[in-house]
Amino acid sequence: MATNAQPLGGPIPGVGSVVAHPYAPRPFVVREKIQETPDTYTLRLAPRIPGDRIQFQGGQFNMVYVFGVGESAISISGDSTRPEELVHTVRAVGKITNALAALKPGATVGIRGPYGRGWPLDSARGRDIVIVAGGLGLPPLRPTVYEIFRRRAEFGRVEIIYGARTPKDLVFAEEVRDWLPRREMRIQVTVDAAGRDWYGDVGVVTTRLPDARFDAARTTAFVCGPEIMMRLTAQALAQRGVPPEAIWLSMERNMKCALGFCGHCQYGPSFVCRDGPVLPYKTLAPLLAVKEV
Amino acid sequence: MTETASEAIAERVLQHPFFVGLDPTLVHAMVSKAEERSYGAGEMLVREGRPAEEFFLVLDGKIALEIGSAEHQGITVETIGRGEILGWSWLVHPYRWRFDARATKPTQVVAINAAAARYALAAHPAFAYQFLLKFLPVIAERLENTRVQLLDTYGH
């Protein structure tokens, strides 16, 4: 599995020998805000310090600081080949994410990161890939989808299943529509409920797995979404024959330091910020069945 | 329907994943009055409250299960497609549909007469048991899926 060194301080790009404190945020400016759904926004950020870049791997996250409000762990949803632009997709559900959603172009936020271990795409070379995203689980997977497009020849069949509450809750809806006719991968989109103007599937994401074409024994699966959805999807994949060690889930916990020190995100023997957020189902399976871990 | 047409449908039904492994002779009896049908996009297969006089094996296409009300034209709560089975209201008294079903794209089905099916099941308890062993997982899976939908996990 690919690992990433934790940014425990080092020179700030473009600022000579000035060393960043691990808790010091780097200033980024909101260049554009896109409303994805009634309560979800994508922020496109540019570094305030010329030349500053965030090199990241799909599945990693940043600590995004709204000055005067607080800091929140947000996964990176942009293209890893464009480190000069940072993209975060946030759902306005709490104090910090509401403040993020209220930002206007030109506002400055603080960024620490990237943190954690992302999707181990290299482990899927020569294998089929199944991506299952539920709700806001698609943004952390989008950088990896981009990477699969770029490295398509390295993998076997690629299946994407994307589920949301209703059609209006689908994030990146237009972009996903553009992915549909591409031959490089099969995409199934399903929602939990819809009106008559929806011609796609209706049902939980696991109902789409029987239609997905992959060789279970040589498949790597990346799953991201609400924990219950991930648990049921991982069970369904394992039941079909995908090895538990080849099923990867992205866990979400309350992260504070993001450096593996404070313990807020402890999940069993792991710190999600340091050892995750992407972890193998083989490790997670016993914990997923335990309530209030 | 001619006997040859009936036989052809029975053979088709026997190849459907749902019927694989069941006694072919009794499946033939069960589907003696079955017929193949096509529905265009938007056409209704089933209306809530009407007698459930048949059930359907989906050969191709997509069907939306809808719940309607005075306020809503129809909310789709599930879609089913090729290889799946539509309806169990025909098996449970008072044999009336509990939802609407509408084709969302051109759809081919085998419609199986409910009275003939119930007769075959009542006359052959061992066959009925095997049939229910096939049917219960379908019901259980849909119940589990409905529970997950009710949790509204994406909404939290």
Long-range contacts of B43-47 (CB under 8 A, 24+ apart): B43/B102, B43/B103, B44/B100, B44/B101, B44/B102, B44/B103, B45/B86, B45/B101, B45/B102, B45/B103, B45/B107, B45/B109, B46/B86, B46/B87, B46/B97, B46/B99, B46/B100, B46/B101, B47/B97, B47/B100
Do B115 and B53 touch, CB atoms closer than 8 A? yes
Q: What are the pLDDT tens digits along chain A (293 aa)?
A: 444 444 455 555 555 555 567 788 999 999 999 999 999 999 999 999 988 888 999 999 999 999 999 999 999 999 999 988 999 999 999 999 999 999 999 999 999 989 999 999 999 999 999 999 999 999 999 999 999 999 999 999 999 999 999 999 999 999 998 888 777 889 999 999 999 889 899 999 999 999 999 999 999 999 999 999 999 999 999 999 999 999 999 998 888 888 888 888 888 888 888 888 999 999 999 888 887 77
CB contact under 8 A, A195 and B64: no
Between strands A108-115 and A26-37, the pairing is antiparallel
CB contact under 8 A, B153 and A225: yes
Q: How deeply is B35 buried, as exposed, middle or buried, from its count of CB atoms within 10 A (0-12, 13-18, 19+)?
A: middle
Per-residue pLDDT tens digits for A30-85: 999 999 999 999 999 999 998 888 899 999 999 999 999 999 999 999 999 998 89
* C-alpha distance from B115 to closest chain A C-alpha (Å): 30
Do A179 and A159 touch, CB atoms closer than 8 A? no
Residue B4, classed as helix, strand or coil, is helix
Q: Using a CB–CB cutoff of 8 Å, tell me whether A167 touches chain B.
A: no
CB contact under 8 A, A204 and B62: no
* Chain B residues touching residue A201 (CB < 8 angstroms): 62, 79, 81
Per-residue pLDDT tens digits for B68-82: 776 667 899 999 999
CB contact under 8 A, A194 and B74: no
Between strands A70-75 and A86-91, the pairing is unpaired
- ipTM of the complex in this document: 0.84
The residue in chain B having the minimum alpha-carbon distance to the alpha carbon of residue A199 is B104
Q: Which of A134, A163, A193 sits opposite B77 (nearest CB)?
A: A193
Whole-prediction pTM: 0.88
What pLDDT score does A260 carry? 84
Q: Using a CB–CB cutoff of 8 Å, tell me whether A132 touches chain B.
A: no
Counting Cα atoms < 13 Å in the Cβ hemisphere of A176 gives: 22
The residue in chain A having the minimum alpha-carbon distance to the alpha carbon of residue B82 is A211
Q: Which of B74, B79, B105 sits opposite A203 (nearest CB)?
A: B79
Do A223 and A160 touch, CB atoms closer than 8 A? no
Per-residue pLDDT tens digits for B103-136: 999 999 999 999 999 999 999 999 999 999 998 9
Residue A128, classed as helix, strand or coil, is strand
* C-alpha distance from B5 to closest chain A C-alpha (Å): 30
As a three-state string, the secondary structure of A6-58 is CCCCCECCCCCCCECCCCCCEEEEEEEEEEEECCEEEEEEEECCCCCCCCCCC
